[in-house]
Amino acid sequence: MTESNLHTRMDTLHSRTVYPLPPHLAREYEQLDTESCKYMELAEKKCRKFRMGGVPFSPTYQRAVATIEYWMRRLSYEQGTCRNVRQLMVLRNQADIPFERDLSILEILKRTHEARRERRRCKDTAVSLQVECHHDLAAAKEAAGNIKAAVHLRNMNRVEATRKMHQNIRYMEGKISAGATAQVTVTSRDGTITELTAKDEVEYAIINSNKRKYHQTEGGSELLSDALVQYLACYDRGPLVEQVLNGTYVPPPGTSAATTDFLQA
């Protein structure tokens, strides 16, 4: 990816993009897309394949996993290799860890080892932790007056067994991810709802839906009008972009209220 200078070529092509898209630029986009897909497939082959659901779920085990990730990211932060403070805050809240500002790297390593031991303990008792979690949920449902605890517990166990069975089937068939779309529902302009199940019909409906979604601003967005493009450009490189970011930009006369609200938000 570095050898082909893909990112620089993308930036250069974006800066030359105009609407409507000329054929030679469309061919360049197709070429870049083909190369990107090739690199993504190569990267996917090098990734480890995890079998999801190997450890029964429980909030205790989930908290233990979040605790390890927090201390590992905290270690990276102290070493200067990771500066994602927001992710640290999210993990700390998930693991319910009190914030300690002044910790040395040795202390963080010690906390990481302790978290690993706790995760191993939770993994060894994962089945009993899940059973305890299910009983707590069932008791809460019964206390709320929604359903009997025994009925809710039986329903949860049945759903869990079904999910586990299908996970095993996909794993044995070599399908880690879910299968393709089996059916789609299409609503016509007169309000008629049609359910499509044939492969060709499903693919055609999905393609049309994606076309409308990804091309809905072409030719109809006021941000692509000449009055705004000359100041904002197409890729946030116009002379007045900083005013938009600062909230001080005043749109030209005739700009719709929706576009004005969007630019001043």
pLDDT at 175: 59
CA distance 63 to 123: 12
With H, G, I as helix, E, B as strand and everything else as coil, classify residue 187: strand
CA distances in angstroms from 254 to 216, 239, 241, listed in the order given: 22, 20, 19
Statement: the pTM of the whole predicted model exceeds 0.95: no
E strands, the chain, are: 184-187, 193-196
What does the block give as tokens for 158? 């049945």
Q: Where would I find the H helices in 80-196? A: 85-95, 105-124, 126-143, 149-172
CA gyration radius, the chain: 27
CA distance 14 to 144: 56
**Spatial contact of 51 and 171, defined as CB atoms under 8 Å apart:** yes
pLDDT at 174: 65
pLDDT at 64: 93
> What's the average pLDDT block by block, 10 residues per block, for the chain (265 residues)?
76 83 87 88 76 79 93 90 86 89 90 94 92 90 86 86 80 63 82 83 89 74 77 72 80 84 77
CA distance 43 to 7: 16
Q: Is 142 exposed, middle or buried (0-12, 13-18, 19+ CB in 10 A)?
A: middle
CA distance 229 to 106: 54
